[in-house]
Amino acid sequence: MRTTVGIIGAGPAGLLLARLLHNAGIDSVVLEGRDRAYVEHRQRAGILEQGTVDVLRAAGAGERMDREGLPHEGIELRFAGRRHRVDFPALTGGRSVMVYAQTEVCKDLIALQLADGGPLLFEAEALAVEGAGTDRPRVRFRHGGPDGAEDVLECEYVVGCDGFRGVSRAAVPGGRAFERTYPYGWLGILADVAPSHDELVYARHDRGFALLSMRSPSVSRLYLQVPADTDPDSWSDDEIWAELERRFETRDGWTLDRGPITQKSVTPMRSYVHEPMRHGRLFLAGDAAHIVPPTGAKGLNLAVGDVVTLARALVHRAEKGSDELLDAYSATCLRRVWQAERFSYDMTTLLHPAPGATPFDDRLQLARLDRFASSRAAATDLAEAYTGFPIG
Ligand code: RFL
Ligand code: PHB
């Protein structure tokens, strides 16, 4: 098999890159290790920045998002029984975000790719990237499960969009990793109940962080801070609802509606950046190169920024014969990546009481939160970061 751009991974990064290249007349092949149902149902991100929404629309993948997505113009910060709304458009000159699940973004992009006959191979697991430093890089892969046949995809460029546990990062020699783990994770649930608030609620409580989000007007997505090694089945449904009620409690008597829990899982929290994001003709994009804790809702949006930057550079190369933008790819992306790392770290340490935190630490967290309620400058900084940093 042979193509111009070999893409490993059909998450948001790989699927959107294939779409952007197709729209520019550049051919690609996407290799995805899992089956289609797995990719379409893996429950993950929920918030699209303004820039991500604009990119999906321009790529021709925004039709259902515009029909079914929920535009949000703010979030609520909840602490010490108080509620404070951060108004995005008022603070950022009109920017907002969209609640539209990653599962739906992937479904839309897969349907478009297959409708155009674009090569997208499921159950095609990349085993290794070879020759990244040459002008003929290859992906060795296995098709059709663990006993399937091995094959080789010959490419001009290879893009590793294979997530944090993929194989492509190992083919970037001499790089450097920057990492931080957190002593807690998120217990996440999906519940068949209308969201109890019409915007996301980020709550800091002495017992731990809680987040109220949503997937649709009738499905809620909620998270609880738990110790990192928690078994989700050690929490009964009643215990989850009771703990959520405690952490969301307000002085003005706000109530949380309960409903049947349909999914339950625990997500670890990690910050990670691999530099550089390129070796020769191999480029890393999305979670393959960097991870953020989910508190800032940045992971999917960073992946989108990377592939927009890369698609631009590959088109520039095809049209002008110049490597200038490809050479700048890693540095261009990393600048935005580190802003998102900073914001995600700040949001995480702002809202999660760490195990062993002292009363002094607790007071500092409350003082940091109080800044958003009392200073327009502080609230503007949060609103600008949450609605998204410019791409490129
Ligand atoms: P993905 O989505 O992990 O996709 C990688 C794909 O590569 C495939 N793959 C391979 N294919 C072939 N050969 C191999 N050897 C392969 N190895 C792996 C995998 O099967 C998979 O299909 O990476 P991508 O595309 O970079 O996208 C990144 C985002 O998925 C991720 O950053 C976000 O989900 C993070 N995230 C959030 N991001 C946001 O922007 N907003 C949010 O609100 C948000 N909430 C979240 C999140 C992530 C969470 N979890 C579970 C980590 C909430 C949670 C709970
Ligand atoms: C989600 O809806 O899954 C979600 C929303 C906001 C976050 C993280 C996750 O910060």
pLDDT of residue 262: 97
Dist CA 77 CA 154 (whole Å): 50
The total of structural domains in the chain comes to: 2
- Pocket of ligand 2 contains residue 208 by CB under 6 Å: no
298 is known as an active-site residue: yes
Quick one: which ligand is closest to 102's CA?
Answer: 1
E strand spans, 106-175: 120-121, 124-130, 138-143, 149-154, 157-160
CA of 27 to the centre of ligand 1 (A): 23
CA of 286 to the centre of ligand 1 (A): 8
- Neighbour count for residue 281 (Cβ, 10 Å): 21
**Residues forming a β-bridge with 376:** none
Dist CA 282 CA 234 (whole Å): 43
Domain that holds residue 198: 182-269+355-387
Q: Which two tokens stand for residue 275?
A: 């530099």
Comparing CA positions, the residue from 361, 99, 131 lying closest to residue 219 is 99
Q: Is there a single domain that holds both residue 306 and residue 217?
A: no
Q: Flag whether 91 is in a domain.
A: no
SS3 state of residue 56? helix
Q: Is there a single domain that holds both residue 340 and residue 278?
A: yes
- Pocket of ligand 1 contains residue 10 by CB under 6 Å: yes
Q: Is there a single domain that holds both residue 264 and residue 367?
A: yes
Q: Is there a single domain that holds both residue 54 and residue 156?
A: yes
Q: Flag whether 93 is in a domain.
A: no
Q: Is there a single domain that holds both residue 128 and residue 162?
A: yes
pTM over 0.85: yes
CA of 147 to the centre of ligand 2 (A): 37
Question: 204 and 353 in contact (C-beta within 8 Å)?
Answer: yes
- In this structure, the residue with its CA closest to atom 1 of ligand 2 is 46
Q: Is there a single domain that holds both residue 228 and residue 322?
A: no
pLDDT of residue 118: 82
Ligand 2 atom with minimal separation from the 347 CA: 10
Q: Is there a single domain that holds both residue 118 and residue 258?
A: no
- Pocket of ligand 2 contains residue 102 by CB under 6 Å: no
Comparing CA positions, the residue from 342, 388, 392, 369 lying closest to residue 92 is 388
Catalytic residue selected from 22, 72, 197, 274: 72
pLDDT of residue 392: 74
CA of 166 to the centre of ligand 1 (A): 11
Q: Flag whether 87 is in a domain.
A: no
Helix spans in 203-323 (H)? 237-248, 299-320
Q: Flag whether 92 is in a domain.
A: no
Looking up residue 59, the CATH number of its domain turns out to be 3.50.50.60
Q: Flag whether 200 is in a domain.
A: yes
Comparing CA positions, the residue from 172, 179, 212 lying closest to residue 195 is 212
Which parts of the chain have pLDDT scores under 70?
Answer: none
> What is the best residue among 186, 220, 221 to mutate for testing ligand 2's pocket, by most ligand atoms within 8 Å of CB?
221
Q: Is there a single domain that holds both residue 306 and residue 263?
A: no
- Pocket of ligand 2 contains residue 293 by CB under 6 Å: no
Q: Which two tokens stand for residue 93?
A: 């000159």
Dist CA 55 CA 51 (whole Å): 6
- In this structure, the residue with its CA closest to atom 4 of ligand 2 is 46
Give residue for tokens 């290879």.
158
386 is known as an active-site residue: yes
Catalytic residue selected from 274, 294, 352, 353: 294
Q: Flag whether 306 is in a domain.
A: yes
- Pocket of ligand 1 contains residue 39 by CB under 6 Å: yes
- Pocket of ligand 1 contains residue 51 by CB under 6 Å: no
Determine the residue type at 334. Answer: L
Q: Is there a single domain that holds both residue 244 and residue 278?
A: no
202 is known as an active-site residue: yes
pLDDT of residue 144: 87
**Residues forming a β-bridge with 271:** 180
Q: Is there a single domain that holds both residue 149 and residue 64?
A: yes
Q: Is there a single domain that holds both residue 242 and residue 315?
A: no
345 is known as an active-site residue: no
Q: Is there a single domain that holds both residue 168 and residue 291?
A: yes
Catalytic residue selected from 202, 205, 329, 353: 202
Q: Flag whether 79 is in a domain.
A: no
Looking up residue 377, the CATH number of its domain turns out to be 3.30.9.10
Q: Flag whether 194 is in a domain.
A: yes
